[in-house]
Structure 1
Amino acid sequence: MPARQRRKAARPQELLDAALALFVEKGFAATRTEEVAERAGVSKGTLYLYYPSKEDLLKAVIAQNISREIAESMDRVLRFEGSSAELLRLMLREWWANAGEASCGGICRLMMSEAGNFPELASFYEAEVIQPARSLWRAVLERGMARGEFRPMPVESTIAALMAPMLFLVMQRHTATSCPQLGSPVDPAEVVERVAELMLDGLCRPAAAPSDADRRPA
């Protein structure tokens, strides 16, 4: 492929990378499309050929960096062959890797702070991220209950209890990027492990006590 064609094929990704970086650094409202185009090394007109508005640009960033990850995680849940406790730990670790450690986690902070001013984008985020994420965790919990590994529970409120500390951790991590004073002295990966332990302590069925027959010498 000639260099010019390769460059053209790479432009959508370059624009999305530039938009993600600027949205996380400055916020959605404060970012201008001219800045995105300049950082990607193209004209504003070229940007609009691919993404007609700043809203379309943010939607594409969300779809590529978050929606796709959730869909891939759901596929792993459906194919997982280990215990549900192992699966829950894996999903929490992946969540942190994809939303905490990666720059796209800053989109979560952005949406929490700016969604009220952009209701159409908030609806898009709810449909593309929040509901699929809830479906993912619902699948994990229902799998555990169906296999007898987790005790019966109200699923929707359990999902909320599971997501809340992780969302706080993501928000804190990406706030600390611009305001180090608000960072945590504790390793976030260690916090993820504690969240998993606390959740599993409540979710897993206790091991059955040995019966009198089991205790009786052979």
Structure 2
Amino acid sequence: MVKEPAGSRWSRRKQARPSEIIDAALDLFVERGFAATKIEDIAKRAGVTRGTPYLYFANKEELFKAVIREGLLPSIATGEALVRDFDGTGEQLLEAVIHFMWGAIAKTKLAGIVKLVVAEAGNFPEVATYYYDEVVCRGQNLVMNALQYGVERGEFRAMDIDYTMRVVIAPVMMAMIWQHSLGACVNEPFDEQRFLDSYLGLLRRGLCHRIE
């Protein structure tokens, strides 16, 4: 077997370090919150020296932005492409958006970022503003575009698109927060299929024109 040059192993390891640091940061942000997570703890979790994260990230705020950029923004872009290229009914599009948001974010550890931002926004406005601009606004637009699509096709009743979007998103956000707060403290398993069936059933009856 040909022995790999030590230099190439070092290069590959060095290239892997930013993603390892980001993964460790996500784990600790979700477990402990933003304020309680220290850069040295992230380095330890990532298996690197205390100063290594500073080679790639100026501070903890920049590391948080990297977590969002690497973990959430690619999924948001996928959702935007889903809406842009969709060919079907308004009801199908809205359900596709909800299922997408659930599968890409709510079912993953990234859902813990929602609780973090809600809990610590007042103390870390730069972090919260970045999350709002890059994730919340684009996620809201996914739902607003789906609602507008259904209204324009005559499938959904006339509505206040902006505030209906907020009502549509709220249960998903609450479910994510629940799983990383009270849901972790009570002996009450969260049945995601029952939740989605109940939630989507309410949306169908609340948004769509019905012929009696």
Corresponding residue for residue 95 of structure 2: 89
Distance 2:194 2:170 in 1: 16
1:21-32 pair list within 5 angstroms:
21-32=27-38
Q: For the residues of structure 2 that align with 1:173 and 1:116, how far apart are their CA atoms? A: 22
Q: Which has the larger radius of gyration?
A: 1
Amino acid at match of 1:195: Y
How far does residue 99 in structure 1 lie from its aligned partner after superposition?
A: 2.4
Please report the TM-score for the alignment, with normalisation by the length of structure 2: 0.91
Q: 2:206 aligns with which of 198, 202, 208?
A: 202
Q: Give structure 1 stretches of 5+ with no counterpart.
A: 210-218
Q: Is the 8 A contact 1:151 1:203 kept in 2?
A: yes
Aligned partners of 1:53 and 1:186: how far apart in 2? 36
Q: Which moved more, 1:120-129 or 1:47-56?
A: 120-129
Q: Comparing 113-122 with 59-68, which one deviates more in the overlay?
A: 59-68
Kindly indicate whether residue 54 of structure 2 is the aligned counterpart of residue 48 of structure 1: yes
Counterpart pick for 1:101 among 83, 99, 107: 107
- C-alpha root-mean-square deviation of aligned residues, in Å? 1.7
Alignment partner of 2:185 out of 177, 180, 187: 180
Q: Percent same amino acid among aligned pairs?
A: 38
Work out which of the residue numbers 73, 76, 82 in structure 2 matches 1:70.
76
Structure 2 alignment gaps of length 5 or more: none
Would you say 1:60 and 2:66 are equivalent positions? yes
Find runs of 4+ consecutive structure 1 residues off by over 2 angstroms: 183-186
Distance in 2, matches of 1:153 and 1:38, equals 51
Q: Does the Cα contact within 8 Å between 2:97 and 2:142 map onto a contact in 1?
A: no
Contact 2:72 2:135 in 1 (8 A): yes
Q: TM-score by structure 1 length? A: 0.89
Distance in 1, matches of 2:126 and 2:33, equals: 17
Does 2:144 match 1:138? Answer: yes
